Amino acid sequence: MVTISQSPDLESVNCPVCGPEPYTVWMKDGKPTRYVRCRLCGTIYASPRASWASRYAWLDQTFSFGENALENANARQSALAREATLIQHHISGGRMLDIGCDLGDMFHWFPDPGWTRHGVEISPSAAKYAAQTHSAQVYSGTIREAGFPDTLFDLVTMLDMLYYVDDPSMTIKEVARILKPGGICAVEISGQSYQLMRSRGLLCWLIEQRWTRLHTDSSYLFWFTPTSLQRLLEDSGLRIIEEHVIDSPTSSVPWRDQLAGSYSALIRRTSRLSRYWLTWTPKYMLLAERVEKI
């Protein structure tokens, strides 16, 4: 993805999958920023988008160590446990890296002996907590800044974070570079159709009593379709081997958890018939293998 213009306040970018292809405007909200949809692959992305400084301030505040971060991590425990189990059907030990590791909760499922744990985390306070709590080496910054050697890792995970990175294409290429041939990459994201239905319109109003929770100048930069995410991985030498529907974070409202569980079970069945249905799931995880030569 190439940044085609930049100012102190705004960045204009191309589709992260296709490059400078035509797009349609998907959402405007009265600001200089907007969301557009690539007409070739269907990826929705922010362009022009808020500056790095503005986005970083939000990311640092949102993912810093504190009460909210602990609550969010707690709500994700069952999803992380399932993801770790699915990953370990393919790989039972080695050197793992969790990009966007938050407070390091994924490390809990990759213990000594057998696993060496590394993380990358944008928030310095979260990175410090993750390193101390889980005996992990955690770099505070971006994956590009971390500068790991080639083919260092057996496993790289990117869970619920690909919406925030500056350049997903560069990030995935970097992951392929630092993975061993045959190494495993796990990517968890929200289904595009589900996330957009949930974030704007009637469903958003019913749950949150507001018509939209999206802001075009926010840190949410990308929503991939199952097919555009597959292309992003394959273009970097990562071959998809499995796809799994993942449960939503748990809440303190039992009926909401039951409804979410039933919905996930339904989508889990339909996605076995066609991977198209992954776009309607709150979260899904792709497992990909690095090909021998990229």
Instruction: List residues near Zn ion by CB under 5 A.
Output: 15, 17-18, 38, 40-41, 43
State whether residue 40 is helix, strand or coil.
coil
Min CB(15)–Zn ion separation in Å: 3
- Cβ nearer to Zn ion, comparing 156 with 232: 232
3-state secondary structure 165-212: CCCHHHHHHHHHHHEEEEEEEEEEECCHHHHHHHHECHHHHHHHCCCE
- Cβ nearer to Zn ion, comparing 123 with 192: 192
Alpha-carbon separation of residue 190 from 131, 220, 277, 279, 280 (angstroms): 27, 12, 12, 8, 9
Cα(74)–Cα(56) distance, rounded to whole angstroms?
Answer: 24
- Cβ nearer to Zn ion, comparing 18 with 175: 18
Min CB(244)–Zn ion separation in Å: 25
Cα(274)–Cα(291) distance, rounded to whole angstroms?
Answer: 25
Comparing CA positions, the residue from 221, 242, 245, 219 lying closest to residue 230 is 242
- Cβ nearer to Zn ion, comparing 171 with 248: 171
Min CB(188)–Zn ion separation in Å: 21
- Cβ nearer to Zn ion, comparing 157 with 190: 190
Min CB(6)–Zn ion separation in Å: 21
Min CB(45)–Zn ion separation in Å: 8
Cα(96)–Cα(92) distance, rounded to whole angstroms?
Answer: 11
